[in-house]
Structure 1
């Protein structure tokens, strides 16, 4: 399992970086992305922590720890600048907290993220429009199918719009607690529940590997 969206208690998760990493190893993960919630007030601290965690575990386990952030609840016009700054600070993975149906995310967030080449993943984008999905496809921004309750209620819509627009899809857990990590079998069930057939589901799983390779080879 490659999971490129997870949180520690550096933001609103329940686990230390080390425990998140250890639990991912125990669950048989190939890679975990550390993407705590960030805005202008904590970006430098969170990237620094994620980079230190990645460095500390480098070469000690068969797990790729990817340092990143999730840009969260910031005005859409500030997303490109924050994404670029995260890259400068050493984030290899930039996720944007999309317009989930469960939170009052500012309208226009999906469009700003989809149009930004410094963004890798638009997380839980809710009732994303075809226009925004097409923009994501144009810029290589992956739309997230999520395992997280609440956010996942829009998975079927995200899958359908992604299919229609050609936007790449990726499955993540948005882990906050120990029980949030999942197996590949559960991933397949979530993808099927989103309305994807087995071939499409396999493509989504492979997409995580494609994105991980691009991130590690080029800093995306």
Structure 2
């Protein structure tokens, strides 16, 4: 009975995090959702001022296509994470652990750690639509995401989605990602300061 309840709690928790997931990157570009993820758009507003985000996406696209690349496996959701994705100007190929129930794989979820160098707004750009949550690793306080940006194909064909958040420099943040089947367990992540930083490169 206890095992059944803990499994049920895990599935319920995963379902809540998965609430932000939408179309999969496995779809052809013509059928992939060009707008914010349908369910996530109710939780996170679409970005209104997209000029700086488009510039950040263009810069990040270079890393998404040419590297440098680093492959990491995210820590299982709900536990401590020591998987660091703080290296600047790096495309991380992240693999999420599977969430299973009996013989079925329900989806994938995991956590990584990001420590920004300075206090500013950051964009978390991914190659597919993923549910994202950012939490202060020390206090376990969730950071509110500012907005969602669906990266246009003409801006970058390798990155599909971005969410933004204001973060403090030197603070460790746990970034949770989730994907539902049939989304893939792996995706690319590039984290970029919005605004001035990429223009100085």
Shorter-chain TM range is under 0.3
TM-score (normalizing by structure 2): 0.27
- Select the structure that is richer in strand: 2
Does 1 or 2 have the higher relative contact order (CA < 8 Å, sep 6+)? Answer: 2
Q: Which has the larger radius of gyration?
A: 2
